Amino acid sequence: MNTPLLHRRGLLLGAAATLGAATWPRLARAQTTQTAPLRMLCGAPVGSIPDIIARRYAEQLTGHLAGTVLVENRPGAGGQIAIAALKQTSPASGTLMLTSGAVATVFPDLYAKLAYDPVVDLKPVSMAAESAMGLAVGPAVPTSVTSVRQFTDWLRAHPAQSNFGSPGIGTLPHLLTAMLMREAGVDWQHVAYVGGPPAIIDLMGGRLAGLVLPEGLLRPHIGAGKLRLLATSGATRSAFMPDVPTFVEQGHAGLVVREWFGFFMHGDTPPAMAEAASRAIREAAATEALRRALAETAMLAVAGSPADMATRIATEQPRWRGVLRDTGIRVE
């Protein structure tokens, strides 16, 4: 008899009974049928890395957290459209939202006005996945440039070619680029795109000098020889790109940045309900099937308790507040 599993079932069923079985999806593995599917909002378009993360988790949570878990894409405004949709749900519905951690760590200091309060409107549930980012260059930069130092030297010598793309103002790739350029003393031109893929097209076409994006978006083009990767942003070398040195190795100790995605619920969700969902997510993150699926996009499955996620948010907020202040990046 699997006593720990039975104990977990008892805890989950107790939480559901306390909160109202009519409104909370049946959480125990033994009860996998419910009338309404569980919604999982995703703040990014179909086919994006966040969408892939959401759908892989939904597959693992179906039959465990609920009989059916359906991903509902609400892209736009860096995840804020999905947040608006989450705010319209009932706190007792169990609706999950998968989005970038930046909505809680960066946006409060990036935007002069936000349509939500991350402390009031968002309840942290669990981390989901994280990734290092990579600095890529394309045909606009000579093949003799093979390091970050050589690249920043080249940019200083060719100011007219210092166009640098990002998937949007205030995104972590944008902030990491701004941090690098500030440290290197390089004047550069920021070109904001609606997501990473269109920026990659311009990088491969020679219209950009460089681009910072999550590894998973760059890796296919690196492997095909269309782009070159000069650095990755982890504290240590990436398991997916082990031959590429980190920014730290190349003299930029402060450029350790990992982009992460996590699950939130309505801000008024009862703590017991958020904890029950978190336990199911942690079990999903531990499965080999999910880890293997995320590895295909150079993402690592990471999960934890609501308290763990809240701690990470609280730890990162002051850092990004300082970066935004030092770089002058702001959205009015």
Domains of the chain, first to last? 3-131+258-327 (3.40.190.150), 133-250 (3.40.190.10)
Q: What is the pLDDT of residue 195?
A: 81
Query: What three-state secondary structure class fits 122?
Result: strand
How far, in Å, are 83, 184, 209 from residue 156 at the CA level?
A: 41, 9, 12
Question: What SS3 class is residue 59?
Answer: helix
Contact by Cβ (8 Å): 209, 141: yes
How much is the average pLDDT of 247-266?
Answer: 96
User: What local confidence, expressed as pLDDT, does residue 242 receive?
Assistant: 95
* Residue 6: pLDDT over 80: no
Q: Among 6-10, 71-75, 155-159, which stretch is predicted with the lowest mean pLDDT?
A: 6-10
Q: Is the pLDDT of residue 278 over 50?
A: yes
Task: Using the predicted structure, report yes or no on whether residue 290 has a pLDDT greater than 60.
Answer: yes
| Digit-coded pLDDT (tens) for 128-143 | 999 999 999 999 999 9
Question: Region 287-306: what's the mean pLDDT?
Answer: 95
pLDDT at position 154? 96
> Taking the C-alpha atoms of 180, 185, 191 and 197 in order, what is their torsion angle to the nearest 10 degrees?
-30
Nearest-CA neighbor of 110 among 24, 201, 172, 179?
A: 172
Looking up tokens 């020889």, which residue turns up?
Answer: 225
Flag whether pLDDT at 24 surpasses 90: no
- pTM (2 d.p.): 0.84
Residue 31 has pLDDT above 50, yes or no: no
Q: What's the mean pLDDT when you consider all of the chain? A: 88
Mean pLDDT of 251-264: 96
